[in-house]
Amino acid sequence: MLRDRLHSQKQIRHQHRSRTRAMFHEQAAPSTRYIAIIGNPNAGKTALFNALTGLRQKVANYPGVTVEKKEGKVIFGDGSSATLLDLPGTYSLTAHSPDEKIATDVLFGKATHTPRPDFVVCVVDASNLERNLYLVSQIIDHRTPLIIALNMIDVAEKSGMAVNPQRLSDELGVHVVATVANKGIGVHELKEAMHAPVTASPKARQWSLPKLVKEECDELQTILQDAHHLSEADSFHEAIQLLTSSSVLNSHNDRYAPEVLEHVKKDHERLDSFGIDRQSVFVESRYEWIKHVCEVSRKIKQQAEETTSDKIDKVLTHKVFGFVFFIALMAMMFQAIFSWANTPMNWIGDGITALGAQITTVMQPGDLRDLIVNGALAGVGAVVTFLPQIFFLFLFLGMLEDTGYMARAAFIMDRMMSKVGLHGKSFIPMLSSFACAIPGIMATRTIESRKDRLVTMLVSPLVSCSARLPVYALMIAAFIPQQKVLGVFSLPGLTLVSMYLLGLAAALTFAWLFKKTLLKGETPAFIMELPPYKLPSFKSVIMHTWERSYLFLQRAGTFILGVSIVLWFLATYPKITNATPAEQLQQSFAGQAGHLIEPVIKPLGFNWKIGIGLIGSILQREVFVSTMGTIYNIKDAKTGMANLSLREKMHNDADPHTGMPTFTILTAICLMVYYVLAMQCMSTVAVMHRETNGWKWPLFQIAYMTLLAYTGTFIVYRIGLLLMT
């Protein structure tokens, strides 16, 4: 079946070449072009983008907004290239959220510092043809040059559907290429189609409107063209927006000329008087035409009563078994992260220790050597050691996303989220926050309700992100004993899981509190598409994992390196004559700062050394680890502990006056609890400021999370002391 589709696809390609040669007189395709790739969520757009661009990608943000901008280079057979822009997923060109608005603005040439694409590749899920063709019809109406990547044809066939690319191409008037992006099928053919000249479909606006609606739409188009000098395609799009929206007349609107708004008001009154639903008439008219296109280009075969995805979902989305599986999966994931990463972490740690010893051997004693070994290398090395755990975390999250399970996790958690006044869509940003709170906060753009979006943004940083993982790993490795629980799980692994569950529980609790007090509102209905399960694209997952791991390394080599150098200076000066390294550290600028805040943090079980780490990690949480690395390297520089690992130095550290250990199991637990609940990330605060357009909510977020962290850690410490007596 798949072979037939690909054979049909080749025929389309040859016909397309003939048409374009005749139209352009065999004109060669431009060597550099700007191409946008667009599609519905879960259509395989990102997998196709990765397959087309490989490792030739860069990620940034669109100017002025926190929407991620992902660009890549497509290399064609003759060595020429084009820039490919991966637009945010959207179901239509009617924007309801910031990410959808970015997709629309780029397509229409309205995005700042982003050129209008020469043409568009629209990724269409062959197993959900009707829904995906809605976006296609809007792009065609806008007279945008277009190629369709008919993706997931293997999934469609397994579901009993056979889509004929040739018939679909004939109906739409655009080039259609059948693909299976996660397996690389059809990617070469798609590249060839992209390299050839691409034109707009000659069959724009085949769908028809009711007579009265068409008359009003045509009149409004004419007025828009005259008043705003819009093209026929742009004026049609604007006319639909104006006729379907009531809010355009409810407030002062200086976007449109007065005569346009006056005419829109009359149109609304006339259509409403005839009982025409202005919001649905355009949608229904499009779908009537889409239904016809699907009938002639697709055959529905006799299919089994249940698909494989349906059978799996009976268990994985069950109200009891599904939740148990989700918790077990999370426990296994974090258990594996801790266990699998241990050996490569030791390799990295031994390598850094050996490098420090080599530098010490070849360099003369002095401040420069101390700066390199005890400052820069100790600080950066302490963080880089945890790269394997970061790698495995993103690897597992990428696998869950690529298989389609993430959508099920949101569905499962919807029951719990509804009890706190939110819905499953709010859980997706929380899942993203396991990697980093910044994309988690950015992911709230898909939530329609402003109050729900704000609540989700306020609590997402409570979910433990990858920056907390080095802190957890250091404390667990140094102080939690290696013991088996129930003969299967290890105590360190369960401790790690408990930190993540604590953050999730805190996020849900405060979401409920905010929905009941500051941001009251009804619990919204939750509608979400569950994509079919599929084997993950190993290449895409590895690329995503490498991209995030590289950002971690980049941060270690830039920001953390800078902080480590500054901290070395603060922990080394002013110089005290004839002082031991430990005494020098206490009298240094950093030591004085630690002693200054010690009375405040002593009720939490923390001393002045931990205080230095808390101060240093206000900007970023993982700086705590580099801070401890620098402090203990300076403190133990001239002792027999110089070549020990950081965890061993912390484990052996004791108060010189009392002989009591600086760190205990209780101290380690309290420190982890503090980092679970505290903000400690100025980058997240900056994103909150941009997303909320002010400082009110970011400052509130800092205040409530700091108070929560202090109170929660105080309670844990007091309970721990009681249990120990």
What is the per-residue pLDDT for 527?
A: 56
Looking at residue 24, its pLDDT comes to 35
Q: Is the pLDDT of residue 240 over 80?
A: yes
Q: Is pLDDT of 425 > 90?
A: no
Provide mean pLDDT across the span 440-466: 83
Asked if residue 316 has pLDDT above 60, the reply is: yes
Model pLDDT, residue 252: 53
Tokens linked to 48? 């196709």
Give the pLDDT confidence score for residue 21 in this predicted structure.
39
Question: Mind listing the pLDDT tens digit for each residue in 544-566?
Answer: 788 778 877 887 778 778 888 88
Please report the pLDDT score of residue 525 as a whole number.
58
Mean pLDDT of 49-71: 66
Please calculate the CA angle 321-322-328 and round it to the nearest 5 degrees: 85
**3-state SS, residue 52:** helix
Locus of tokens 């906060």: 441
Handedness of CA 17, 20, 23, 27 (dihedral sign): negative
How remote is the C-alpha of 57 from its chain's centroid? 16
Output the pLDDT for position 702.
Answer: 94
- Asked whether the beta carbons of 630 and 618 are under 8 A apart, the reply is no
Q: What pLDDT, on a 0 to 100 scale, did the predictor assign at position 59? A: 55
Residue 62 pLDDT > 50: no
Statement: residue 647 has pLDDT above 60: yes
Over residues 191-211, the mean pLDDT reads 87
Q: Give the pLDDT of residue 349.
A: 85
The count of other CB atoms within 10 Å of the CB of residue 659 is: 7
Token pair listed for 725: 């007596």
Across 595-608, average pLDDT: 93
- In the predicted model, what is the mean pLDDT of residues 8-32? 44
CA 587/CA 66 separation, integer angstroms = 43
Please tell me the predicted confidence (pLDDT) of residue 424.
Answer: 66
Domain coordinates in residue numbering, the chain: 2-195, 211-275, 335-389+539-724
H helix and E strand count, the chain: 33, 11
What is the pLDDT, as a whole number, of residue 161? 86
pLDDT at 39 over 80: yes
Distances (CA, A) of 718 to 257, 320, 500, 604, 725: 67, 36, 22, 8, 11
Is 147 in contact with 190 (CB distance < 8 Å)? yes
Structure tokens belonging to residue 616: 């240093």
Residue 716 identity: V
pLDDT band at 23 (very low <50, low <70, confident <90, very high): very low
Q: What is the pLDDT of residue 277?
A: 87
Whether the pLDDT of residue 213 is over 50: the answer is yes
Per-residue pLDDT tens over the stretch 160-187: 888 999 999 999 999 999 999 888 899 9
To the question of pTM greater than 0.75 for the whole model, the response is: no
Among 398, 396, 410, which Cα is nearest to 456's? 410
pLDDT at 11 over 70: no
Structure tokens at 117: 């694409």
Structure token pair of residue 655: 């108060």
Strand (E) or helix (H) holding 393: helix 387-403
The number of C-alpha atoms within 13 Å of 254 and in the hemisphere containing its C-beta is 0
Instruction: For residue 185, give both structure tokens.
Output: 């099928």
Average pLDDT over residues 137-141: 91
Compute the mean pLDDT over every residue in the chain, rounded to the nearest whole number: 83
Give all strands of the β-sheet with 175-178 in edge-to-edge order.
57-61, 68-75, 81-86, 34-39, 119-125, 146-151, 175-178
Count CA atoms closer than 13 A to 66's CA, side-chain side. Answer: 21
- Span 333-355, average pLDDT: 84
Q: Summarize the confidence of residues 624-639 as an average pLDDT.
A: 80
Mean local confidence (pLDDT), 150-165:
88
The confidence band for 499, taking pLDDT boundaries of 50, 70 and 90, is very high
Q: What is the mean pLDDT of residues 616-632?
A: 85
Please name every residue paired with 638 in a beta bridge, in sequence order, or none if there are none.
none
Q: What backbone torsions phi and psi does residue 312 show, to the nearest 5 degrees?
A: -65, -40
Please tell me the predicted confidence (pLDDT) of residue 676.
Answer: 95
Mean pLDDT, residues 249-260: 74
- The DSSP output letter for 429 is H
Q: pLDDT value at position 303?
A: 56
Is residue 602 over pLDDT 90? yes
Average pLDDT of the residues in 286-305: 82
How far apart, in whole angstroms, are the C-alpha atoms of residue 133 and residue 291? 10
Among 216-220, 380-384, 675-679, the minimum mean pLDDT is found in: 380-384
Q: Given pLDDT bands bounded at 50, 70 and 90, which one contains residue 655?
A: confident
Of all residues in the chain, the percent with pLDDT exceeding 70 is: 88
Specify the pairing of strand 146-151 against strand 57-61: unpaired
Q: Is the pLDDT of residue 703 over 70?
A: yes
Higher-pLDDT residue of 693, 34 = 34
CB 212 within 8 A of CB 271: yes
Section 60-76 average pLDDT: 67
Residues in CB range of 67: below 8 A, 6 or more apart: 61, 88, 98, 99, 102, 442, 445
**Burial of residue 131 (number of CB atoms within 10 Å: 0-12, 13-18, 19+):** middle
Q: Are strands 81-86 and 146-151 parallel, antiparallel or unpaired?
A: unpaired
Residue 41's φ and ψ, nearest 5 degrees, are: -55, 145
* pLDDT at residue 712 tops 50: yes
Q: What are the DSSP calls for 140-181, one per residue?
A: HHTT--EEEEEE-HHHHHHTTEEE-HHHHHHHHTSEEEE-BG
Q: If you average pLDDT over each of 93-97, 189-193, 210-214, 468-472, which comes out highest?
A: 189-193
Q: Write down the architecture of domain 2-195 according to CATH.
A: 3-Layer(aba) Sandwich (3.40)
**HSE-up of residue 312 (Cα within 13 Å, Cβ side):** 13
DSSP code string of 208-252: ---HHHHHHHHHHHHHHHHHH---HHHHHHHHHHHHH-SGGGTS-
Q: Taking residues 529-541, what's their average pLDDT?
A: 76
Q: What's the half-sphere exposure (Cβ side, CA atoms, 13 Å) at 129?
A: 27
Cβ burial, residue 295 (10 Å; 0-12/13-18/19+) = exposed
Is residue 395 within 8 Å of 374, Cβ to Cβ? no
What DSSP line would sit under 636-681, residue for residue? TTTSTTTTS-HHHHHHH-B-TTT--BS--HHHHHHHHHHHHH----
Identify the CA nearest to 49 among candidates 67, 72, 69, 68.
72
